[in-house]
Homo-oligomer: A and B are copies of this chain.
Amino acid sequence: MRYHKIANETIRRLPIYLRGMLFLSEQNRKTISSQNLADIVGINSWQIRKDFSYFGDFGKPGVGYIVEKLIRHIKKILKLDKEHKTALIGVGNLGRALLAYPGFGPYGFNIVAAFDNDPAKIGKKIENINVEDVSRLPALSKRKVDLAIIAVPRDAAQEVADVLVEAGVKGILKFSPHHIEVPKKIKVISIDIATDLARLPYYMSA
């Protein structure tokens, strides 16, 4: 089954729905109405119904959405129905925080390798991951890693990305808003904490 032309904004919301459904699944909930899902994820129920209409309707009248079925479907659409071996480049403060972060597992992300250029870190074990010399990055191509998280200083990001692309990585997550050049087939997502923080004051009472 293939899904075509799903809007980027819908794809952005699907992981949020998935997170809500995983939460419900943990609580052994079997079904949920779009209104209840809306309350949990903080997105309007009409928006949820519209998003789901892109790829068929998962709801049953009077019953709502079936939690496990919806989880399976969303994971399939997002290609999260298999493990994604992930490499982390840069084991500074941010990198260490990421290695310790327990939230990747439910989505099938498995950080299997970590790299740094600091001799003091290379060879150390952090959160059960052996820190390797960044000069060994090209060998990633033999290890079926398709995702990478770049947590290096801004000026090193482009160079690291070049090597990652060469090593066969297909998706990159980075933490600086600065543009990096990659071939078109490589997807890059940036998390920019300042941009998220920047919408907070709008909602704050005077």
A residues contacting B by CB (< 8 A) are 9, 11-12, 14-16, 18-19, 77-80, 84, 92-94, 96-98, 100-101, 103-104, 106-107, 109, 146-147, 149, 170-173, 176-177, 185, 187, 189, 191-205
- Least Cβ–Cβ distance between A145 and chain B, in angstroms: 12
Q: Given A19-B177, A97-B93, A177-B103, A189–B200 Cβ distance below 8 Å?
A: yes
Indicate how many identical chains form the complex.
2
Which 6 A-B pairs give the minimum distances between C-beta atoms?
A15-B198, A187-B203, A79-B201, A93-B97, A94-B97, A103-B194
Give the complex CA separation of A43 and B98 in angstroms: 28
CB-CB nearest in chain B for A86:
B197
Give the complex CA separation of A203 and B184 in angstroms: 11
- Least Cβ–Cβ distance between A1 and chain B, in angstroms: 14
- One of B106, B146, B170, B192 near A194 (C-beta < 8 A): B106
User: Which residues of B lie under 8 Å from residue A14 when comparing CB positions?
Assistant: 198-199
Give the complex CA separation of A176 and B100 in angstroms: 13
User: Which residues of B lie under 8 Å from residue A101 when comparing CB positions?
Assistant: 193-194
